Each structure stands twice: as C-alpha cells, then as structure tokens.
C-alpha cells in the first residue's frame, strides 16, 4: 500500500478496511501494514448464503508516520 500517496497527495486523514473474522491472512496483512482493529461487526457480511462477522480496521495519518519513524 502506498500510504505516502494517500496521505500526502489525496490528503486523507484516515483509511479503513474490513475483512471476515475468519480470514486470518487478511487480518495479518492489515496488522502488518499498521492498521488497528477498531470494531467487530456481528453477522454483517453476506458470504455464500450465510451472514459472517467482520472486523473493521483503520489507520490514521499520524499512526503511519509515527511507525515510519520507529
């Protein structure tokens, strides 16, 4: 992900993403990219005829640049 473009060029302050709670690979990718888990939405995603739980993640501009300095 090119956070530099999103935060500097597009002037975004916050980026959100979500994934199914059972999708361990996506959770790991989001956490490695610096996203923080903010919410657990119950039975919100209609997948294969079932309602699936979802995690909501977000990264703030200040979070990204703080981690870049570490």
Instruction: Identify the band that residue 3 occupies on the pLDDT scale cut at 50, 70 and 90.
Output: confident
pLDDT for the residue 69: 61
Q: Cα–Cα distance between 1 and 52 in angstroms, integer?
A: 26
Beta carbons of 68 and 50 less than 8 angstroms apart: no
Instruction: Identify the band that residue 63 occupies on the pLDDT scale cut at 50, 70 and 90.
Output: confident
The overall pTM is greater than 0.75: yes
Buried b (16+ CB within 10 A) or exposed e, 8-40: eeeeeeebeebbeeebeeebeebeeebbeeeee
Domains and CATH numbers, the chain: 3-69 (3.40.630.30)
Q: Which of 69, 8, 9, 3 is nearest to 17 (CA)?
A: 3
For residue 50, the Cα-to-chain-centroid distance in whole angstroms is: 23
Mean local confidence (pLDDT), 22-40? 96
């Amino acid at each position: 992900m090119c956070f530099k473009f999103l935060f500097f060029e597009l002037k975004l302050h916050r980026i959100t993403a979500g994934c199914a709670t059972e999708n361990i690979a996506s959770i790991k990718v989001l956490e490695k990219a610096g996203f923080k888990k903010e919410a657990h939405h119950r039975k919100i995603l209609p997948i294969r005829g079932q309602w699936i739980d979802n995690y909501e993640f977000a990264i703030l501009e200040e979070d990204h640049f703080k981690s870049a300095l570490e």
